[in-house]
Amino acid sequence: MTGNAGVPVRQVFADYDYKSQEPHGHVNRFCSRCGSLNNRLPSGRGIQSICSWCGFVTYRNPLPGVSILIEHEGAVLLGRRIPGSFGGGLWCLPCGFVEYNEDILGAARREVFEETGLTVELASIIQVTSNFLTSDLHSIVTVFLAHRKEGALQPGDDIDALEWFPITGPLPPLAFEADGEIIRRFGAMKFEGLAIEEPTT
Ligand SMILES: [Zn+2]
């Protein structure tokens, strides 16, 4: 599939055959409400974990994440992931998971600040992706375009180096396939993306 500028478009990134996997794997063995053993029973959508005592159904869903493309004078900011993290030593857009008590906009601003020391203005949503990274790590990531406001570059959290790279490449080795796709597509098309709520302070 190609987009309206002939640039390849993808939303699904999978490092394994996720459709053939048992969705609960080794997790959800016990009921999250009463602690009894769950039964694994077939249902319309595959295998469900249903409590053998109280009948409570435990669902397993992908983790919601955010990723932020910070553009500055034709460059994009990438961070190098610390050894021992997923994709350690490889580079990525600032990113992370949304906490239960925050919204996606707050999560994006927080992750940027924690990993880069910058405060940013979120400009738009430029992509949403399904990332099947491992059989235990499936995320759905909203990707924002952002512009720097203030702060000095200071790597933090699971990032140990920060560097600006030309948005049209070449890019360093990336931890997530989706990041390369997002940066290449944005560099080629420079689209505005989907407008978002007015930034809050
Ligand atoms: Zn139960």
Distance 134 CA to ligand 1 centre (A): 28
SS3 sequence of 123-159: EEEEEEEEEEEECCEEEEEEEEEEEEEECCCCCCCCE
Distance 143 CA to ligand 1 centre (A): 37
Of residues 16 and 160, more confidently modeled = 160
Distance 50 CA to ligand 1 centre (A): 8
pLDDT at 156: 94
Tell whether the model's pLDDT for residue 72 goes beyond 90: yes
pLDDT at 120: 95
What residue ranges do the domains of the chain occupy?
A: 24-58, 62-195
Distance 29 CA to ligand 1 centre (A): 11
Distance 27 CA to ligand 1 centre (A): 15
Distance 12 CA to ligand 1 centre (A): 34
Q: CATH assignment of 62-195?
A: 3.90.79.10
Tell whether the model's pLDDT for residue 151 goes beyond 70: yes
- Please report the sign of the dihedral spanned by the C-alpha atoms of residue 198, residue 127, residue 95, residue 141: positive
Tell whether the model's pLDDT for residue 201 goes beyond 90: no
pLDDT at 199: 59
Of residues 119 and 20, more confidently modeled = 119
pLDDT at 64: 98
pLDDT at 1: 58
Distance 159 CA to ligand 1 centre (A): 40
The rounded distance, in Å, linking the Cα atoms of 96 and 158 is 10
Phi, psi angle pair for 131, to nearest 5° = -120, 110
Distance 53 CA to ligand 1 centre (A): 5
Distance 28 CA to ligand 1 centre (A): 11
Contacts of 185 (CB under 8 A, 6+ apart): 3, 7, 8, 9, 127
pLDDT at 3: 64
Average pLDDT, rounded, for the chain: 90
